[in-house]
């Protein structure tokens, strides 16, 4: 795809005769060149994460984890730049012009790059383009794959008595420093780390051997390092290319050459889990996806958080009016963690004293919602044994008195079974559509790319199923579809999605257990 950006507007001037800098009379926009780290989303810096959470525009690369995009504000514009070896979605020049244009609009722009932007990331080129344009910018360094990926493979790039120096080299022959001098590299006694090198392993190793490097020098290749899809092979300078071909190693990955590779057997700390090598896509809200990822942490899975939905509070005046009548309620009912969160956020915004809740009883649909309630200093008085709205409603009907009023704080378009059950039982209730669930259309193209190699797709709500259906994305035959409960599964099947399994416990932990029980070879 070719993207052409026209720079225009009253603030821009350019002296075409002398090639002077782009000039802007007044510009409040700023660009942050942020290193996303090597692949594991937890390896981003605190400052980098904060930049993402405050961004108005994010221009991201292929190697930047899509999970990090889940931290972006719902209003932020997400622009895919590609920049994958051999496949560029946008040219470097187009990217630079795009950054300038967005900053010119007064936006806070994050350029999210895999690894560190100044280590073979062309961050210097982008920074120079911003300088020339008169755009304010900051560099936010990231953890580079040059040393972190070997570390995840049990290989220290330096080690006392073995290697006192390390050299980072681009795997592209046309690297920034010109043609690589392999004869000079062959003479180094330290560690050689070639980034973006998978497609050229054979030619690199041959050139080093021809330059005088011992063909028995230990070598390792690590594919998709620091992620749940990490693969590592070892050999020698002479054999590593054939081993990679035999094992099906493909980009992205790095080549490590040197005696430090011999330490990998003793230092190989990254153990395989039940789901190692499996890519799991989470589609729920940001909060639910984060909770599921935490639950999956020990399984070895490569988790991609792609929240297809987000919640939006109802009109401020509607909520304010409802809270003024809260004194009438005997019971307050929550059907989701989002409902709990928005309830207490609204109370704080409206400066409503928590003491008005001291005589209230709380009902929650399940343990996740209960934990959210506890986090705000209140404990549920009722939670059904089966975590569904139907069981919550039926159980509550047996507990409320004839004059008790139930205050239901939930999303618009919630299950009608609640209304039917309360109406039939003669329960007095106020069903407040406190928030709406919206489709996050920004995630559609991300979902399309990720689904092509997904092992499992998780639905934690009917709303996520609806969003997936609206985006019209195909589910590959090899992808297992897991639903958090029977109601969600029913909606998935109604949408034409073949459900592989339903969690027996309708929680994030239940979904994890269900994922671990699947046979992904079928």
For position 342, what pLDDT does the model report?
Answer: 85
Give the residue from 212, 247, 267 where a domain finishes: 267
Which among 235, 301, 285, 279 is positioned nearest to 459, based on CA atoms? 285
Q: Tell me the three-class secondary structure of 118-168, residue by residue.
A: CCCCCHHHHHHHHHHHCCEEEEECCCCHHHHHHHHCCCCCCECCCECCEEE
Question: Is the domain of 300 the same as that of 316?
Answer: no
Q: Is position 5 within any domain?
A: no
Q: Is position 274 within any domain?
A: no
For position 319, which CATH number holds?
3.40.50.10090
For position 217, which CATH number holds?
3.30.950.10
Q: Rounded to whole angstroms, what are the CA distances from 213 to 180, 187, 208, 446?
A: 15, 7, 5, 43
d(CA 224, CA 232): 9
Q: Is position 26 within any domain?
A: yes
Question: Is the domain of 447 the same as that of 300?
Answer: yes
Total of domains in the chain: 4
Within a 10 A sphere around the Cβ of 13, how many other Cβ atoms? 11
Does an H or E element contain 31, and which? strand 30-35
Write the pLDDT tens digit of every residue in 426-454.
Answer: 999 888 888 888 999 999 999 999 999 99
d(CA 512, CA 200): 39
Which among 419, 412, 393, 417 is positioned nearest to 490, based on CA atoms? 417
Question: Is the domain of 435 the same as that of 445?
Answer: no
Question: Is the domain of 81 the same as that of 228?
Answer: no
d(CA 44, CA 36): 5
Whether this model's pTM surpasses 0.75: yes
d(CA 242, CA 248): 10
Checking DSSP bridges between strand 309-313 and strand 428-439, what pairing results, if any?
antiparallel
Question: Is the domain of 328 the same as that of 424?
Answer: yes
Q: Is position 273 within any domain?
A: no
Question: Is the domain of 247 the same as that of 299?
Answer: no
Q: Is position 37 within any domain?
A: yes
Q: Kindly state the tokens that stand for 376.
A: 């705000």
Which residues are the active-site residues?
61, 83, 196
Question: Is the domain of 383 the same as that of 291?
Answer: no
Name 115's bridge partners: 37
Residue range of the domain that includes 100 = 12-143
Question: Is the domain of 80 the same as that of 20?
Answer: yes
Question: Is the domain of 23 the same as that of 139?
Answer: yes
Q: Which residues, given as ranges, of the chain have pLDDT below 50?
A: 1-25, 175-177
For position 318, what pLDDT does the model report?
Answer: 61
Q: Is position 389 within any domain?
A: yes
Q: Is 56 helix (H, G, I), strand (E, B) or coil?
A: coil
Contact (Cβ atoms closer than 8 angstroms) between residue 510 and residue 487 = no
For position 19, what pLDDT does the model report?
Answer: 39
As a residue count, the chain comes to: 522
């Amino acid at each position: 795809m070719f993207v052409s950006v026209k720079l225009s507007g009253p603030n821009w001037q350019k002296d075409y005769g002398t090639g002077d800098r782009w000039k802007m009379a007044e510009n409040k926009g700023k660009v942050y060149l942020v290193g996303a780290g090597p692949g594991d989303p937890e390896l981003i810096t605190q400052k980098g994460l904060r930049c993402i959470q405050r961004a108005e525009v994010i221009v991201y690369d292929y190697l930047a984890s899509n999970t990090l995009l889940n931290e972006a504000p719902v209003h932020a514009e997400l622009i895919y730049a590609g920049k994958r070896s051999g496949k560029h979605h946008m040219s470097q020049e187009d990217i630079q012009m795009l950054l300038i244009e967005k900053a010119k609009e007064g936006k806070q722009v994050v350029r999210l790059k895999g690894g560190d932007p100044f280590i073979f990331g062309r961050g210097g080129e982008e920074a120079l383009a911003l300088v020339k344009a008169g755009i304010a910018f900051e560099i936010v360094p990231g953890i580079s794959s040059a040393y972190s990926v070997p570390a995840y493979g049990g290989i220290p790039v330096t080690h006392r008595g073995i290697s006192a120096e390390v050299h980072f080299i681009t795997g592209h022959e046309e690297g920034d420093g010109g043609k690589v001098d392999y004869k000079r590299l062959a003479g180094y006694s330290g560690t050689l780390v070639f980034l973006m090198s998978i497609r050229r392993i054979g030619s690199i190793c041959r050139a080093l051997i021809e330059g005088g490097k011992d063909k028995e020098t230990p070598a390792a290749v690590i594919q998709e390092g620091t992620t749940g899809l990490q693969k590592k092979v070892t050999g020698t300078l002479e054999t590593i290319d054939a081993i990679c071909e035999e094992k099906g190693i493909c980009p992205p990955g790095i080549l490590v050459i040197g005696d430090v590779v011999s330490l990998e057997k003793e230092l190989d700390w990254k153990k395989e889990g039940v789901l190692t090598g499996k890519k799991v896509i989470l589609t729920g809200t940001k909060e639910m996806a984060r909770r599921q990822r935490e639950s999956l942490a020990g399984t070895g899975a490569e988790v991609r958080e792609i929240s297809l939905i987000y919640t939006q509070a109802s009109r401020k005046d509607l909520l304010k009016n409802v809270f003024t009548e809260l004194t009438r309620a005997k019971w307050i009912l929550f059907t989701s963690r989002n409902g709990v969160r928005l309830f207490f956020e609204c109370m704080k915004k409206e400066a409503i004293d928590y003491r008005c809740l001291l005589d209230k009883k709380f009902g929650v649909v399940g343990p996740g919602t209960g934990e959210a309630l506890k986090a705000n200093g209140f404990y549920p008085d009722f939670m059904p044994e089966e975590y569904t709205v139907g069981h919550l409603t039926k159980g509550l009907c047996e507990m409320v008195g004839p004059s008790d009023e139930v205050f239901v704080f939930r999303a618009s378009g919630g299950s009608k079974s609640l209304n039917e059950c309360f109406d039939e039982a003669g329960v007095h209730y106020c069903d407040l559509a406190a928030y709406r669930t919206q489709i996050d259309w920004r995630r559609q193209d991300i979902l399309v790319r990720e689904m092509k190699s997904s092992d499992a797709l998780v639905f934690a709500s009917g709303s996520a199923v609806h969003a997936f259906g609206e985006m019209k994305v195909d589910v590959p035959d090899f992808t297992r579809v897991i639903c958090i409960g029977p109601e969600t599964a029913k909606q998935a099947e109604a949408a034409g999605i073949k459900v592989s399994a339903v969690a027996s416990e309708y929680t994030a932990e239940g979904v994890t257990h269900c994922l671990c029980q699947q046979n992904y070879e079928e």
